[in-house]
């Protein structure tokens, strides 16, 4: 078996920005209320002409361009999303069609906010086993389409976007994508829900907060142990961008004192499966994290699922 690495990253957000003041015109809230409770200032909102697969394809095209690759160079497309309204064609097939790919394997994964790190692990395993040569992994969600705009505790959280990574083989033992740690708490799956017709997002905020800030830090440290990386060696921590009141205490309890902590949630909101690849892509693009830095990726949320791995930045 070979190793794997992330060759390149890309991200995409719709042009329309929704501010806290915009939301205050819709529900009983205010800029101060939102900032003090979740740390979000703005979020991006896709229009009717921007379905999930368009968001995903835009991010994927940027990742391919950054890697200097053509769509034909990819033989596996994995899209993590929980906001695909249609069942078939799936989002991965639609992304492949938009990019003009010839005959890749295409699959969607729905693990909500932990979707990207699950999808990255699936692609990592496929390339290591030799069943894929090069994979395109995308996290994309249009959360504003499933928002309950009458619920001020949830609608202020949500935004739209996509992030993508190109995964390819690397020499065994070389810095790249580390082993995944994943799992769930099925009996608490009700704490984060996307249910109904039309589907609407709902959550039990306090239950999620307690679980994330108390149960997840030791699991995140375990991810580092599996990769042979001390937490002090981490160059970046990219957690699911749920809200700042979860990200900051969770990062503190992990104990990576030298790491840059992604806080993209402040300008992007909670974009579910898109949040980790989008935040990582921005950190790399801005030069906040040097190439080859070990970064902890850790997704958590819906189903009370979690998945994390240490990757080295491209």
- Beta-carbon contacts of 298 under 8 Å, excluding residues fewer than 6 positions away, are 117, 216, 219, 220, 223, 237, 238, 239, 240, 276, 306, 307, 308
| Contact present, 6 and 166 (Cβ < 8 Å) | yes
d(CA 149, CA 125): 39
224 included as an active-site residue? no
Tokens of 246: 């979860």
Task: From the candidates 11, 90, 113, 155, give the one annotated as an active-site residue.
Answer: 113
Tokens of 134: 């090069």
Dmax over CA atoms of the chain, in Å, equals 56
Collapsing DSSP states into helix, strand and coil, what is residue 245?
Answer: helix
d(CA 18, CA 81): 22
Strands (DSSP E) found in 171-211: 181-184, 192-195, 200-203
d(CA 309, CA 299): 9
113 included as an active-site residue? yes
Tokens of 242: 């749920």
Continuous segment of H or E residues that includes residue 35: helix 31-38
Task: From the candidates 155, 240, 303, 312, give the one annotated as an active-site residue.
Answer: 240
286 included as an active-site residue? no
Residue numbers annotated as active site: 113, 240, 270
């Amino acid at each position: 078996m070979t190793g794997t690495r992330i060759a390149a990253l890309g991200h995409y957000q719709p042009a329309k920005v929704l501010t806290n003041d915009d939301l205050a015109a819709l529900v009983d809230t205010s800029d101060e209320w939102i900032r003090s409770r979740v740390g979000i200032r703005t979020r991006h909102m896709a229009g009717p002409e921007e379905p999930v697969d368009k968001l995903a394809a835009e991010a994927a095209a940027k990742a391919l361009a950054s890697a200097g690759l053509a769509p034909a160079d990819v033989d596996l497309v994995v899209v993590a999303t929980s906001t695909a309204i249609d069942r078939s064609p799936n989002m991965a097939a639609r992304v492949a069609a938009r990019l003009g790919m010839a005959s890749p394997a295409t699959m969607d994964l729905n693990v909500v906010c932990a979707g990207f790190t699950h999808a990255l692990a699936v692609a990592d395993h496929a390339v290591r086993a030799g069943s894929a040569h090069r994979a395109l992994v995308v996290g994309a969600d249009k959360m504003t389409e499933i928002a309950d705009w009458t619920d001020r505790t949830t609608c202020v959280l949500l935004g739209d976007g996509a992030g993508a990574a190109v995964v390819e083989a690397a020499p065994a033992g070389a810095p790249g994508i580390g082993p995944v740690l994943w799992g769930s708490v099925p009996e608490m799956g009700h704490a984060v829900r996307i249910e109904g017709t039309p589907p609407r997002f709902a959550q039990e905020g306090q239950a999620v907060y307690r679980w994330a800030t108390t149960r997840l830090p030791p699991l995140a440290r375990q991810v580092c142990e599996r990769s042979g990386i001390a937490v002090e060696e981490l160059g970046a921590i990219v957690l699911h961008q749920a809200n700042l009141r979860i990200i900051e205490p969770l990062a503190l309890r992990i104990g990576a004192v030298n790491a840059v902590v992604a806080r993209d949630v402040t300008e992007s909101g909670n974009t579910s499966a898109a949040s980790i690849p989008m935040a990582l892509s921005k950190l790399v693009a801005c030069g906040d994290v040097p190439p080859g830095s070990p970064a902890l990726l850790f997704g958590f949320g819906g189903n009370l699922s979690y998945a994390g791995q240490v990757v080295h930045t491209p």
